Amino acid sequence: MFFIIRHPETEWHILGKLQGHKDSKLTEAGKKTAMKFGKSLKNKDITKIISSDLGRCSQTAKIVAEIIKVPVEYSHELRERNFGELNGKPNKYVLKEFDLNDPDLTSPGGESFNAMKSRVISYLKKISNNKKDTILFVTYEGCIRALLSEVYSLKFTDFKCDSSSDFIYRFLVDSNNIKLKEIMKSK
């Protein structure tokens, strides 16, 4: 079993910039959401946190870890999609230059949605097969969208694959298949 959350609001969300493999810090509202995650997950028997190594997720993971008192590990496998030359650009510019709805399209120097999906799903399956650990993964909207599209067997653009920045997802891994068990709103 594992839980997964996406990092909360960052400064670049407010500025309307595509983060990808670039970074911005959590806002005060984002920090409060991270604390809510910690309080909501405090009694869920989580044994460790594995977070993306980028700052906005590691900042979220550290806040949660202080509350639930477990160690944090970092992995580049949990990174958001790499948008290459579009990382850090204003969303308005990106939408004019790039079709974000095409899962196979790769921006210059970046990766496709499907490449990111394959990377993230493979990693989650590999790490989650350890039955003695209950892990919290801290990652991104795109990674959770990829996971939900896999679980539901839907296109990643389907509304069922939308993820909120204050939701906590609980999954089971059974015979290398991932199944959604619960969606909770942080309190």
The CATH architecture annotation of domain 2-15+26-81+115-185 reads 3-Layer(aba) Sandwich (3.40)
Digit-coded pLDDT (tens) for 5-31: 999 999 999 999 999 999 899 999 999
Query: Residues 52-72: what's their mean pLDDT?
Result: 97
Identify the H or E element spanning 31.
helix 28-41
Q: Which two tokens stand for residue 118?
A: 């394959």
Mean pLDDT score across all residues of the chain: 94
**Catalytic residue positions, numbered:** 7, 80
Task: Please state the domain extents for the chain.
Answer: 2-15+26-81+115-185
Residue 30: exposure state from Cβ atoms within 10 A (0-12, 13-18, ≥19) = buried
Q: CA neighbours within 13 Å on the CB side: how many for 39?
A: 10
What pLDDT is attached to residue 133? Answer: 87
* Sheet with strand 48-52: strands edge to edge: 72-75, 48-52, 135-139, 2-6, 167-174, 177-185
